[in-house]
Chain A
Amino acid sequence: MIRRLLILLFCLVPALPVWAALDPALVKRLAADDSDAKIAAIQQLGASGDRAAVKVLKALANDELLVAGDKVFLLDGETAVDAVSGAAIVPAPESYDTITINNRIRAELSNAIATLRLLNPDRAVRLAAAQELQSNSGIEMAPVLAKALARETDTEIKHLLKLAQAQANLGSPDADARLAAVQALADDATPNTRNLLLPLLDPATEADARVRTAAKSSLNLIESRLAVGETIGQIFSGLSLGSILLLAALGLAITYGVMGVINMAHGELLMVGAYTAYAVQGLFQRYLPDYIDWYVLAAIPVAFAAAGLVGIALERSVIRWLYGRPLETLLATWGLSLILIQAARVIFGAQNVEVANPSWMSGGIEVMAGLVLPWNRIVIIGFTLFVLALVWLLMQKTRLGLFVRAVTQNRQMAGCVGVPTARIDTLAFGLGAGIAGLGGVALSQIANVGPDMGQGYIVDSFMVVVLGGVGQLAGAVWAALGLGVVTKFLEGWAGAVIAKIVVLVIVIVFIQKRPQGLFALKGRFVEN
């Protein structure tokens, strides 16, 4: 039995046509100037079930189908392959045009290619094809879908095909077929289905009252599920913005919150981190092109060190002479920020530089219908948690953290019991700057990297620290997340410009009512 099957299989393999000749008239129409003629040809090739058509249609979709005179062909390496017969054309035509396509044709093409692939023996290919067919299935595809459905054995693909068939049947002239389709689509809570069902509520487009009521109830189901997705999406984007604010502000929470230094150059420390990511990316491109996807990981410690060293240099050279004189510190650090911006301009040029997302941070994951969470934002939220945990451990569990906290609470007393306050100041400032550098690496993945990128974050960072309560890391966390979520909900409701204004007003009113911020430092705290 098995042997017989094997023999059958061996007979089958060579029997599969490598390139069955396609209808020359249809192929020629693919090169027509008129989109309607092209689309008709694509649909017929798709419905033909001819697997040789896949290669031709794919070439068309990739701008690789060429035309010279009345010959339509594609290039296979150096040789020109005739699209009709699959035979090589010798000599290859010297001048040719690419057949250009537009979005309308592209949509038809992806449907046609997907329908052809439904007959592929490989399950993964069929599954991908069935997923592709979840939008734009028209009534002309109904027969092919029915055929594929009859042959299909896999339940998951079958389910997808049924949905695609239901979509196609929405355009059916038969009211019963439409009714069944509308009911079947209630399962499929995607924005696309909602889009398809909404017109059916209108008596002008849908004559049958039963279909209209069914569409209404299907829509209600879909909309309630979409609303859940939408809220989750808003909370996610709020958390994402919050995590970015937190990364930007965490360093400041240490330098300003804990040490009381108003550091206007904090934004520029973010910039140093972002440019470090750019430089590391450049090094990887040159020396380790095979590992380019992992440059971000390498950039993290380098950026921490680079920004930390810049911070220590700033503290040693300027800021340490100005402790306890907030106005002078403010002016001096503002001057430092201008110097750093100009330095970046001189070294890297005034234009923004390109920091590419590694491939594992591109694209997104579809967690539920209509809700795609981008990878880069997910990674940044995770990274923020990691940095937060690190800072917490450092401040609570290490000797350095203990000293920093001691100096914060009572500088003189700490000095009296032998804490080297000057060195602790330098180290704490370097730590704050290093964390800003880490924030810069994260920012380089979602925002533009340019010499004055830091200016955009300095106000937000101070807002987070002041709102959270000076001297409190936990306060900064809550303030950043709160600001992020509130901003995103306001943006959804009033637009980005108004949201920015409203958030500022809210913060000002809040600080008026509660000058100490969300969390006030309690206990034996000595001012000056």
Chain B
Amino acid sequence: MQRRNFIKAATLTVALAAAGLTSLSALAADTIKVGILHSLSGTMAISETALKETALMTIDEINKSGGVMGKKLEPVVVDPASNWPLFAEKARQLIAKDKVAVVFGCWTSVSRKSVLPVFKELNGLLFYPVQYEGEELEKNVFYTGAAPNQQAIPAVEYLMSKDGGSAKRFVLLGTDYVYPRTTNKILRAFLHSKGVKDADIMEEYTPFGHSDYQTIIAKIKKFASEGKKTAVVSTINGDSNVPFYKELGNAGLKATDVPVVAFSVGEEELRGVDTKPLLGHLAAWNYFESIKNPTNAKFIKMYKDWAKKQNLPNAGTVVTNDPMEATYIGIHMWKQAVEKAKSTDTDKVIAAMAGQTFKAPSGFTATMDPKNHHLHKPVFIGEIRPDGQFNVVWKTPGPVKAQPWSPFIPGNDKKKDEPDTK
């Protein structure tokens, strides 16, 4: 009797263990792969590395709370090294070889333009987390950053307002590629519509990775002394911002005289800069770390803990910024859409994305537009504080709907507010 019992028990244990093992291995094979496509080296690493970390943190958070449809997410991280053709190669590798369900990635518009054909050809899904110039609406892309009417236009309107200093002359300063050129084209048309003449607009471009801003600062100083209040709109991208702001501080150009508003500079880019001389220079975003609300406090704490756990360089001083928030929103919205569609199939997820909402760290609920693949987001304008954070000095009362086709570019009024679905 006893012996039989023992055999029974033993068989049961073995059977259970075997079942457990198979189910475990089944679980291990049954993950959902997601691609992360951010430059971890080169000129854009200063901005994009933090996005990779945010994506990994968010995936970890989702996995801890049960994954997506009971499956764990498995991140596949690649480094396109600030090299635009390499972005396309790596995107192809992610979709075709690693078979990822979705890709979170890109910062510069030139990298996004470079991967677009790959996503269209292989019917992949890209979540793009950075503010950009608009003029694009692709079925395979969700844009969780700002369109021009959610960042650039309100910022320039603010500069022209009484509180922004009633600027009458504008320097449009950028890195030489598609995003600054297109944004400045839109801004020029917008300024024309406000009665600003071409003589009062100066446009300047520098190559990627430019590090000598002496001449440009001298030019801005001269332009600013020609009789009207001048403001600078900076679309400089990547690590060029560090020498630019250093030179700005050293040259003693104060924000009360010539304010500089930046569209690609946030808390992360200013980490390596002494911000005391930059007091009062501005940035326009849809999120700042200094915004006070419980969701944001949780988000900041989560990232700080993550940085400590992962032992990131300078983990004690990490900051959060707008594209990180957009990455966070994007991953969560994708998760919600997959759960709604009950599938990771690209077309089904795209359909389920319409109208998704998520309570964002900005303190507002971000909504995915039913049609145009962009988020409805609030706009904030902040001034740099001595500690490298931003004081919000202006904000919209609520979320703003994105206009990817700027009304200030001729011919755009005929374009549809939704992507072609073929």
Contacts of B396 in A (CB 8 A): none
Answer yes or no: A20 CB below 8 A from chain B CBs. Answer: no
Best-buried of A135, A451, A496 by chain B (most CB within 10 Å): A496
Nearest chain A CB to B164 CB, angstrom units? 8
Contacts of A110 in B (CB 8 A): 256
Answer yes or no: A195 CB below 8 A from chain B CBs. Answer: yes
Q: CA of A370 to CA of B251 in the docked complex: distance in angstroms?
A: 10
Answer yes or no: B227 CB below 8 A from chain A CBs. Answer: yes
A100-B393, A372-B252, A496-B210 are known contacts. Are A363 and B277 too (CB-CB below 8 A)? yes
Answer yes or no: A366 CB below 8 A from chain B CBs. Answer: yes
Nearest chain B CB to A377 CB, angstrom units? 8
**Are A102 and B383 closer than 8 Å at their CB atoms?**
yes
A-B contact list, 25 entries, CB within 8 Å = A103-B255, A104-B163, A106-B279, A191-B225, A195-B225, A226-B225, A234-B218, A350-B40, A351-B40, A351-B49, A357-B246, A362-B250, A364-B251, A376-B250, A446-B212, A448-B209, A448-B211, A448-B242, A450-B239, A451-B41, A452-B42, A456-B211, A491-B215, A492-B219, A495-B206
Contacts of A374 in B (CB 8 A): 247, 250-251
**Are A446 and B243 closer than 8 Å at their CB atoms?**
yes
Contacts of B305 in A (CB 8 A): none
Contacts of B176 in A (CB 8 A): 497
Within 8 A of A (CB), among B216-268: 216, 218-219, 221-222, 224-228, 239, 242-243, 246-247, 249-252, 255-257, 259
Q: CA of A375 to CA of B247 in the docked complex: distance in angstroms?
A: 11
Size class of the contact patch on chain A: 35 or more
Best-buried of A107, A135, A351 by chain B (most CB within 10 Å): A351
**Are A104 and B209 closer than 8 Å at their CB atoms?**
no
Nearest chain B CB to A279 CB, angstrom units? 14
Answer yes or no: A131 CB below 8 A from chain B CBs. Answer: no
**Are A496 and B225 closer than 8 Å at their CB atoms?**
no
Contacts of B393 in A (CB 8 A): 100, 102
Answer yes or no: B271 CB below 8 A from chain A CBs. Answer: yes
Q: CA of A321 to CA of B221 in the docked complex: distance in angstroms?
A: 54
Encode contact with B along A320-353: 1 for CB under 8 Å, 0 otherwise. 0000000000000000000000000100011111
Contacts of B218 in A (CB 8 A): 230, 233-234, 237, 492
**Are A240 and B214 closer than 8 Å at their CB atoms?**
yes
Contacts of B45 in A (CB 8 A): 350-352, 450
**Are B250 and A35 closer than 8 Å at their CB atoms?**
no
Answer yes or no: A136 CB below 8 A from chain B CBs. Answer: yes
Find the B residue at minimum CB distance from A135: B257
Closest 4 pairs between A and B when the two form their complex, measured CB to CB: A198-B227, A191-B225, A374-B250, A350-B41
Answer yes or no: A271 CB below 8 A from chain B CBs. Answer: no
Answer yes or no: A159 CB below 8 A from chain B CBs. Answer: no
Find the A residue at minimum CB distance from B45: A351
Nearest chain A CB to B205 CB, angstrom units? 6
Contacts of A377 in B (CB 8 A): 214
Contacts of A354 in B (CB 8 A): 271-272, 314
Nearest chain A CB to B404 CB, angstrom units? 28
Which one, B46, B246, B252, contacts A446 given CB within 8 A?
B246
Within 8 A of B (CB), among A507-526: none
Q: CA of A372 to CA of B214 in the docked complex: distance in angstroms?
A: 11
Which one, A102, A345, A375, A450, contacts B163 given CB within 8 A?
A102
**Are A195 and B226 closer than 8 Å at their CB atoms?**
yes
**Are A198 and B165 closer than 8 Å at their CB atoms?**
no
Answer yes or no: B274 CB below 8 A from chain A CBs. Answer: yes
Within 8 A of A (CB), among B326-346: none
Answer yes or no: B409 CB below 8 A from chain A CBs. Answer: no
